[in-house]
Amino acid sequence: MSSLETNPLDPNPLGRDLSALGRPKSMAARRIREKVIVGALGLAACFSILVTTTIIVVLARETWGFFQFPDVTLAEFFGGFEWNPLLGAEKHFGIWPLVSGTLLITLIAASFALPIGLIAAVYLSEYASPRTRATLKPALEILAGVPTVVYGFFALTFITPILQKISPGFGSYNAMSAGLATGVMILPIVCSLSEDALRAVPRGLRDGALALGGTKFDVSVKVVVPAALSGIVAAFLLAISRAIGETMIVALAAGGIAQITANPAAEVQTMTAYMVQIFLGDAPATGVEYKSSYAVAATLFVITFALTMLGQYILRRFREEYD
């Protein structure tokens, strides 16, 4: 038999190794491989659950340990207006000064970033020409990618000196400077997410409003923004929760005095800044000061977690569906 005469029914006339070509495997083999792969991917998905569980367990256990110290009571932690864990013979662990410091910074940041971010988003989505959009969007993305420590440096070396020129009341550390820098940090988040929500509103709604004789202002503010409201609110909540959890800016520029004040020129300490102070300092790992940082972390976690959940709820519950 010559080598040219081949059996036409032979599926592999050249005798090549077909396993590399994706030769059909038996159904059983395919099914087993499929099971193994799904199992492995499922385990990867479980890892994220494990992370959350571990965060909660670690924070709960250490916070429990913190409340076992004789200096600490639950009532003082949630009701006390004095946070004084390091200095003096008498230690006080009332969370409110740290919470108020955090809120002051967040308030300053939000009142800067939320209006400007939303209006810029309306501009980008409704008014700007495609070319303007194509230049401004990447600039916003750059702003979003800047590490937060850079904003901290900016607050300390640029915003604070300017504030001090404007009014001598501002110290070298103050809430205003850190709050403004935090506002600059969350601005791209607000703008970019609100813009996504605005652009998701279908064209037909705009066309309808324009056809009724509305100006661009009427269309954007009375039709598009209300239609995208759930997305905008979710964007606001995400930005606020970022501001609450921001660490490096406040650690550099806000100072270290835990006090309840509404004065933006005053030095304040936020929850995150306190944690940095403890973990950078040399407090013994078994001491009450050290453990207190876990209780602060647990408070921070609960607050941001609640904000995220609220944002998701609003997105699900109040989403306007147009299809």
Partner 1 sequence: MAKVRTTASRVLTNRVFLLACLLATSIAMAVLAVLLVSIVWQGWDGLSWKFVTGLASRKAKDAGIMVPLLGSIWVCAICALIALPLGVGTAIYLEEFSKRTRFTRIVQTNILNLAGVPSIVYGILGLTAFARMFGAFGTNMDDASTFGDEESLFFLRLPFGSSVIAGGLTLMLVVLPVVIIATQEALRSIPRGLRDGAFALGATRWQTVWGITLPAAIPGIMTGAILAMSRAIGESAPLLVLGGALLVYNAPENLMSDFAVLPLQIYNWAGRPQEEFHWIAASAIIIQLGVLLLFNGIAVFIRQKLQKPLQ
**Smallest separation (angstroms) from partner 1 to the CB of 126:** 8
Q: Which of residues 223-242 bind partner 1 (CB under 8 A)?
A: 238, 241-242
For position 280 contacting partner 1 by CB under 8 A, the verdict is yes
What does the DSSP assignment read for 206-238?
A: HHHHHHTT--HHIIIIIIIHHHTHHHHHHHHHH
**Smallest separation (angstroms) from partner 1 to the CB of 308:** 4
For position 11 contacting partner 1 by CB under 8 A, the verdict is no
Give the whole-angstrom CA distance, residue 113 versus residue 190: 7
Element (H, E) at 314: helix 288-317
C-beta separation of 292 from 278 below 8 A: yes
Exposure on the CB side of residue 226, measured as CA atoms within 13 A: 9
Provide the 3-class DSSP secondary structure of residue 91.
coil
Query: Which listed range, 67-75, 82-90, 259-267, 273-281, lies at the site for partner 1 (CB under 8 A)?
Result: 273-281
**Smallest separation (angstroms) from partner 1 to the CB of 258:** 17
Q: How far apart are the first and last CA of the chain?
A: 68
Applying CB under 8 A, the site for partner 1 has a residue count of: 89
Residue 93 forms beta bridges with which residues?
Answer: 83
**Smallest separation (angstroms) from partner 1 to the CB of 118:** 8
**Smallest separation (angstroms) from partner 1 to the CB of 10:** 22
For residue 1, give both structure tokens: 């038999």
Candidates 78, 86, 141, 318: give the one binding partner 1 (CB under 8 A).
141
Q: Which of residues 66-95 bind partner 1 (CB under 8 A)?
A: none
**Smallest separation (angstroms) from partner 1 to the CB of 40:** 7
One character per residue 151-190, x = contact with partner 1 (rule: CB under 8 A): xxxx-xxx-------------------------x--xx--
For position 146 contacting partner 1 by CB under 8 A, the verdict is yes
- 117 Cα distance to chain centroid: 16
C-alpha distances in Å from residue 98, one per residue of 252, 291, 293: 16, 16, 11
For position 111 contacting partner 1 by CB under 8 A, the verdict is no
Which residue bears the tokens 């955090």?
Answer: 102
Candidates 18, 32, 60, 142: give the one binding partner 1 (CB under 8 A).
142
- Spatial CB neighbours of 208, under 8 Å, sequence gap ≥ 6: 223
Query: Which listed range, 6-14, 70-78, 203-211, 268-276, lies at the site for partner 1 (CB under 8 A)?
Result: 268-276
Question: Phi/psi of residue 162, each to 5°?
Answer: -65, -45
Candidates 107, 116, 205, 265: give the one binding partner 1 (CB under 8 A).
116
